[in-house]
Structure 1
Amino acid sequence: MLVNSATRRTDERHQRIMTAQLDAPVLDSDRLEEFAGKVAGDQAAAYNAVLVYLGDRLGIWRSLATLGTTTVAQLAEHAGVAPRYLQEWLAAQAANGYVTYNAAGDTFHLSPEAASCLAEEESPTAMMSGFELIAAVWAASDKLANIYTTGEGLGWHEHDPRLFTAVARFYGTMYRNSMLSEWFSAVDGLIEQLETGIRVLDVGCGLGVATILLAEAFPNSTFVGFDYHEDSVRQAAAAATEAGVSDRVEFLVGDATSYDGTYDLVLFFDAVHDFGDPVGALAHTRSVLAAGGRVVAIEPYAEDTLEANLANPIAPVFYVGSSALCVPHSISDGGAAFGAQAGPARLVQAFRDAGFTSAKVATSTMTNLVIEARA
């Protein structure tokens, strides 16, 4: 009896396996090879991202840019890195196309173009902050696994501290290159007002990079930066002192509905889509605007549908950042969870729902939407 039962169970298991095999899709070998190659390439890039980040953290890229062409021993001495580790690191960068190797001289070379991306912080093509940001997101992977299971949120302040400096560096490049020449110049009369002198509020100011740049550019205006993350506010205040603009810049701690005062201009730099209650936050903003005042919000470029967004070559990084940072923070803050690819229609509607009678996209660039709203 027991033997018959065991035999029957074995037969049933074999039948299930055969059925599953019959139902399995037939794989296209060419497409399989193509996709497996993509995954392998992505894995290599992700693996090397750790080493690229170490190159930034340890100053290796800057040393390479200074030396140009170098031996392992020369670079090790200049950068203060152990030669054996550096030998393997350089081999990895050569294999991944970040440096070139000359076998005749046993030397490595960093091109000027690569240096502009990897070693020059003030370069308009500086990209090292992205690797620091990757390190911060990896550090939060256990927390992300937890919230993806529970549906809870993950606040900005709960992330690895590298997130704050990485984001400041990342957006600092954009602010220096786009804030005045592309974004503000598209808003009628804004630069002229700032030159004359107005009172400005930057909500969600982070480390204060944009606020300080504006204070340097427009000495007749005064600025207040507001952020709920206390350590960021502390660092922003120190940076303002170092930049020599603390006489016209103040940084305060608080959330998106706790500030007061009266302002001619309220700014949001990549912040509206992160709020748990964007409409409530914007309604509070409307209450502090002076007569004739306005709001300018910089948001990631997006279309209004997923299908259209997927045609944007920058969408992969926007969606990844949104999945790891923007949506988790918004859920922790109340849950609207617009995401970094909310799109102009949804963003403009949030302003209108908050009571702004005039809200529009003033301009768009390859990477950003600029929204202007008036009460």
Structure 2
Amino acid sequence: MATVVDTDRVEEAVEKVFGELGVNCTAPLIVLGDRLGLFRSLAGAGPLTPAELAARTGLVERYVREWLRAVAVAGYLAYDPGADTFALTDAYAAVLADDAAPTALIGVFPGLAALWADLDRVEGFFRTGGGMAWGEHHPALGLAQERFTRPAYVHGLIAAWIPAVEGAVPRLEAGARVADIGCGHGRSSVLIAERWPRSTVTGFDPDDAAIARARSTAAAAGLDGRAVFEVADATGYPADGSWDLITFTDSLHDMGDPLAAARHARRAVAADGAVLVVEPLAADRFADDFANPYARIGYAVSTLVCTPSSLAQPGAAALGTMAGEARLREVLTAGGFTRVRRIAEESAPLNILLEARP
């Protein structure tokens, strides 16, 4: 029998997919707006004609005009047809034009190039298994991660998340030893060292190139050895019970053996110290993630980046970006921590923050 097609459902599907095509076609325009300073020039400027924006930026008016129209149709700019002017609202400026704003998301867009660049390799993993480490991805991925997480770390990690760890601030103010595991480009390590100058932070990551960049960032910040970086995985740093605070900032799920990482951290942390685990927001049941604002991004990144990262390492646990609180607690408890509590929920709408203690 011939299949009866519900034309209304087909129209809904076409509308959905066509909308996705529009979103994907707009992403390179957002990157151009960032690279060329268009968003920054529009911020706070009020309505501008294409010629006025071209004059402000020193760019070719015809290209500027087409870019403005494309981005306005996508909903990012307000348009006045009578005056033929375009304006960036303060709300969108806080997301697209100011890297220091806690709401900044502009840093994510350049990283999309890496997802496309590495797609052929990921396709191969679907067929044969295996994976690739973070350091094997297109360089745009790590740079985007560093830029995107900086405002989250400034306004979250430094201002609210670490202060929510019981007793952490007094110890950091007095002078603590901090281990930042899976530190990547070292942005979190540098920020901790800058905020608490009496403390020393050591960042550990298995990627040589990431550690080289982290060392360069620390040197540029003039931290005088208060933030140092070593090439080591999550079980390769000293487990001598002398670390006052150990942090896993968006890194535990990327590891091949998160349980081994937790066990090592349990041996490494001081008896009265703490481990802070920062992970993306995810529900314990997949069915509940359909209401999660982060889920769409989280599962995509997990498929293309984080799961391949884990499967490239010994252990190959493939915890996934969207592991959820219950699974993270299981890992920490099995690793030997006797007290695990969730903290700072009000300041981390897109993260799960767990404080673990021996």
| Class of the TM-score when normalised by the shorter of the 2 chains | over 0.9
SS in 2 for 1:134: helix
The 10-residue stretch of structure 1 (29-38 or 356-365) with the greater mean CA deviation from structure 2: 356-365
Give the C-alpha shift of residue 181 in structure 1.
4.0
SS in 1 for 2:343: strand
What is the rounded CA distance, in whole Å, between the counterparts of 1:123 and 1:349 in structure 2? 35
The number of residues matched between the two structures is 353
Residue in structure 2 matching 1:225, options 203, 214, 232: 203
Shift in alpha-carbon separation, 1:186–1:23, aligned structure 2, 3 A: farther
Q: What amino acid does structure 2 have at the position aligned with 1:370?
A: L
Counterpart position of 2:334: 353
Give the C-alpha shift of residue 66 in structure 1.
6.0
Alignment TM-score, normalising by the size of structure 1: 0.89
What pairs up with 1:1-375 in 2 under 5 angstroms?
22=1, 24=3, 26-65=4-43, 67-260=45-238, 262-334=242-314, 335-364=316-345, 365-375=348-358
Deviation per residue, 1:187-207 (Å, 9 max, x gap): 221222212221001011111
* Maintained 8 Å contact 1:361/1:371: yes
Shift in alpha-carbon separation, 1:93–1:372, aligned structure 2, 3 A: same
Give the C-alpha shift of residue 176 in structure 1.
1.5
% identical equivalent positions:
41
What is the rounded CA distance, in whole Å, between the counterparts of 1:156 and 1:191 in structure 2? 31
Q: What amino acid does structure 1 have at the position aligned with 2:332?
A: F
Give the C-alpha shift of residue 23 in structure 1.
5.2
SS in 1 for 2:92: helix
**Structure 2: segments with no counterpart, 5+ residues:** none
SS in 2 for 1:55: helix
SS in 2 for 1:310: helix
* Maintained 8 Å contact 1:300/1:341: yes
* Maintained 8 Å contact 1:348/1:361: no
Deviation per residue, 1:273-294 (Å, 9 max, x gap): 1111011122222222223222
* Maintained 8 Å contact 2:168/2:245: no
User: What is the RMSD of the two structures over their aligned residues, measured on CA atoms?
Assistant: 1.8
What is the rounded CA distance, in whole Å, between the counterparts of 1:142 and 1:81 in structure 2? 35
The 10-residue stretch of structure 1 (196-205 or 100-109) with the greater mean CA deviation from structure 2: 100-109
Deviation per residue, 1:22-51 (Å, 9 max, x gap): 253x33222222222111111101111111
Q: What amino acid does structure 1 have at the position aligned with 2:35?
A: R
Q: What amino acid does structure 1 have at the position aligned with 2:290?
A: L
Deviation per residue, 1:285-329 (Å, 9 max, x gap): 222222322211111112211112222122111111111111111
Q: What amino acid does structure 2 have at the position aligned with 1:31?
A: R
* Maintained 8 Å contact 2:343/2:355: yes
Q: What amino acid does structure 1 have at the position aligned with 2:353?
A: V
Q: What amino acid does structure 1 have at the position aligned with 2:328?
A: L
What is the rounded CA distance, in whole Å, between the counterparts of 2:282 and 2:298 in structure 1? 9
SS in 2 for 1:108: strand
Q: Radius of gyration: which is bigger?
A: 1
Q: What amino acid does structure 2 have at the position aligned with 1:204?
A: G
What is the rounded CA distance, in whole Å, between the counterparts of 2:81 and 2:328 in structure 1? 55
What is the rounded CA distance, in whole Å, between the counterparts of 1:246 and 1:166 in structure 2? 27
Q: What amino acid does structure 1 have at the position aligned with 2:220?
A: E
